[in-house]
Amino acid sequence: MELNPTWFNELARSRRSTFPDQFKANDPVADEIIEEILTNATWAPTHGKAEPWS
């Protein structure tokens, strides 16, 4: 993969935080989306490689 500063700038500037009050309890989330979120979460860095569940 070629490192492209423009791509990273776009990514960094387009990210956003999501807060619990933005969710609606009765809106279903497709299983595919949940699976993709969980897969992506496995790539997130850990804090000092501390994994308390290990």
Q: Give tens-digit pLDDT for 1-52.
A: 677 889 888 888 888 777 777 777 888 889 999 999 899 888 877 777 666 6
What is the per-residue pLDDT for 35?
95
Taking the alpha carbons at both ends of the chain, their separation in whole angstroms is: 32
What is the per-residue pLDDT for 33?
92
Task: Region of 34 please: left (phi>0), alpha (psi -120 to 50) or beta.
Answer: alpha
Provide the whole-model pTM: 0.46
What is the per-residue pLDDT for 31?
95
Q: What are phi and psi of 8, to 5 degrees?
A: -65, -40
What is the per-residue pLDDT for 54?
61
- DSSP state letter for 26: T
Domain residue spans of the chain: 5-49
